[in-house]
Amino acid sequence: MKGDHFLVAFVFLALAASFAFASDPSPLQDFCVAINDTKDGVFVNGKICKDPKLATAKDFFLSGLDIARNTSNPLGSVVTAANVDQIPGLNTLGISLARVDFAPYGGLNPPHTHPRATEILTVLEGTLYVGFVTSNPDNRLITKVLNPGDVFVFPVGLVHFQFNVGKTKAVAIAALSSQNPGVITIANAVFGSTPPIRSDVLAKAFQVDKNIVDHLQKQFWYDNN
């Protein structure tokens, strides 16, 4: 009887551990090059896999991250992604990159989250004021001014931003712990959704006059990604 109790406890702990450490499954093959054609493919982790025998160097390659982007837009920033959509060979490998260009003083990568990835940012040029906000109930703002060579981490799912406080352009490279980290820009999601969120809902949530919400929902919410 005592042995049965031990067995039940062991099984319970094993199940609990499996939930506690649940994450994207590790690949069971060398790679899974993503393709859009379902013919002769296998669906794995959001993409169709190419036959490994047909993979080439092109599937694992991307050029152009050295090229400065045009930041003449309302936010003064441009994000150039290098994820599974640009590098099919990243599928199931759990990593991606992005280059972020900022206009001189005022270039902003606005408050946003990556629902599936932690981000680690390295500044190559310029000076950035960066930060993230912890979850409820503290909502604590953690910030730092970064210079070339500095590195900062934004934990998975937390709202974060980067702002150019220098007089010259700024450039940063971000690495993310997902081949498809996703991005939710807060202002765009809240005030620019399709269809719009009811203005009385937002007025109560932000504790402002409904006319303010109506005004914000009429704006064009630029996406720098």
User: Where residue 198 sits, what CATH number does that domain have?
Assistant: 2.60.120.10
Is 109 part of any known ligand binding site?
Answer: yes
DSSP track, 36-59? S--TT-EEETTEEEPPGGG--GGG
Give the Cα separation of 49 and 37 in Å (integer).
9
Flag residues of the chain having pLDDT under 50: 6-23, 28
pLDDT confidence of residue 6: 44
Is 5 part of any known ligand binding site?
Answer: no
Q: Are 107 and 169 in contact (CB under 8 A)?
A: yes
User: Tens digits of per-residue pLDDT, 137-168?
Assistant: 999 999 999 999 999 999 999 999 999 999 99
Question: Quick check: is 46 in a domain?
Answer: no
Helix (H, G, I), strand (E, B) or coil at 128: strand
pLDDT confidence of residue 9: 44
pLDDT confidence of residue 24: 54
Question: Quick check: is 194 in a domain?
Answer: yes
Question: Quick check: is 101 in a domain?
Answer: yes
Question: Quick check: is 48 in a domain?
Answer: no
Quote the tokens at residue 203: 């007025």
79, 102, 111, 162 from 224: Cα distances, Å: 6, 11, 12, 13
Question: Quick check: is 117 in a domain?
Answer: yes
Question: Quick check: is 49 in a domain?
Answer: no
Question: Quick check: is 26 in a domain?
Answer: no
pLDDT confidence of residue 15: 41
Pick the closest to residue 83 from 198, 189, 208, 178 (CA basis).
178
For the chain, what is the domain count? 1
Q: Are 126 and 169 in contact (CB under 8 A)?
A: yes
Q: Are 102 and 72 in contact (CB under 8 A)?
A: no
Range of the domain at 172: 71-85+95-218
Question: Quick check: is 51 in a domain?
Answer: no
Is 215 part of any known ligand binding site?
Answer: no
- Helix (H) / strand (E) element for 13: namely helix 2-20
Is 119 part of any known ligand binding site?
Answer: yes
Task: Fill in the DSSP letter of residue 201.
Answer: H
